[in-house]
Amino acid sequence: MTAAVVSTVLLLVGVFFVASAVLGALRFPDVFTRMHAITKAGTLGVGFFMAAAAVHFGDDISLVTRAVGVIVFTLLTAPASAQMIGRAAYLAGAPRAPNTEVDDLADAYPEPTDLFGAKPPPTASERDGSRS
């Protein structure tokens, strides 16, 4: 009974966060703000839902481990994937909200870079130019 009450509270908090994520995805003006809403609120939503599942299946330690594993995995991967898709969107020139004022990356990418910051391999003409 107590576990059901605790699960219900966690579920309702999770629903609140998921609803905030969807609201942000629908109402925010550009891809970066939407990513902000979806990543943070979505991660919290998944975390609270899995915490509710962990409380509900509290007498089976293997299920608790799985639920906690989902939480840990989401907390680890969501920021990484958001960072990658955000940078890709920036490099691909995704449209920004008209009232965007600060662009800290304006001169951070003078030329296209690889995913991990390495420069792309030189083209054939560049190689020939350095050789001669």
> Which positions touch other proteins (CB under 8 A)?
4, 7-8, 11-12, 14-15, 18-19, 21-23, 25-26, 31, 34-35, 38-39, 42-43, 45-46, 49-50, 52-53, 56-57, 60, 62-63, 66-67, 69-70, 73-74, 77-78, 80-82, 84-85, 87-89, 91-95, 111-112, 115, 120
Q: How far is CA 6 from the centre of its chain?
A: 27
Judged by beta carbon, residue 88 or residue 128, the one nearer other proteins is: 88
Helices 2-27 and 31-56, packing angle to 10 deg: 170
Name residues whose C-beta falls within 8 Å of residue 113's C-beta, 6 or more positions apart in sequence.
119, 120
